[in-house]
Amino acid sequence: ADGALYVSYYNAWVGQPEGSIYRTEGNNTATLWADGLYRPYNMVWAGGTAYGDYYYVPDAGTYSDHGDVMRISPEGLPTRFVSIGEGHPKTLALDESGRFGNHLWLGTSAESRIIELFPDGSKRVVVDLGNVSGSPWDMAFDTTGRYGQDLYVATTYAQNPEISGVLRVDPDDNL
């Protein structure tokens, strides 16, 4: 949102909140922007939406045993937006088209679910992938309209790689 590049880092092997996010403005110098995180993944800017002018980050294991979605101010101050419990939050996408309610959508790897997150912090399980399609690894909305303006979810299933792939979710929660 501000033209800077943000890069997450975590040392998952230590078992402590060792995750951080660094910020650079293209001068080949990265500065610590947010810390106290455990395992931050991709980051979404929600400025100008009902979520406020914040960045949102799925963070596996910050303030609870299994993970939270963190809200980070432009100054780099993290607070918990919603606890995910045992879900292990992995990937986050923001619907900017309005077809999916202009909401944040979260993929969890431990429970293999896609969850809609509302601006008040409440949540709704949209799709439970179970052991059929693998766990969400990354996801994005088609903003071009070339592919139906739906949500696309890349999945991975380490125990059975043949069922990893890309899933399409429509606004009616159909795969």
pLDDT in tens, 47-88: 999 999 999 999 986 555 668 999 999 999 999 999 987 778
Report the C-alpha gap between 89 and 69 in whole angstroms: 7
CA 108 to CA 93: how far, in whole Å?
Answer: 12
Report the predicted TM-score, pTM, of the whole model to 2 decimal places: 0.88
The answer to whether residue 117 scores a pLDDT higher than 70 is: yes
Confidence of residue 1 (pLDDT cuts 50, 70, 90): low
What is the structure's pLDDT at 70?
95
What value does the mean pLDDT of the chain take? 86
Phi, psi at 80, each rounded to 5° = -75, 130
Top-confidence residue, 86 or 102: 102
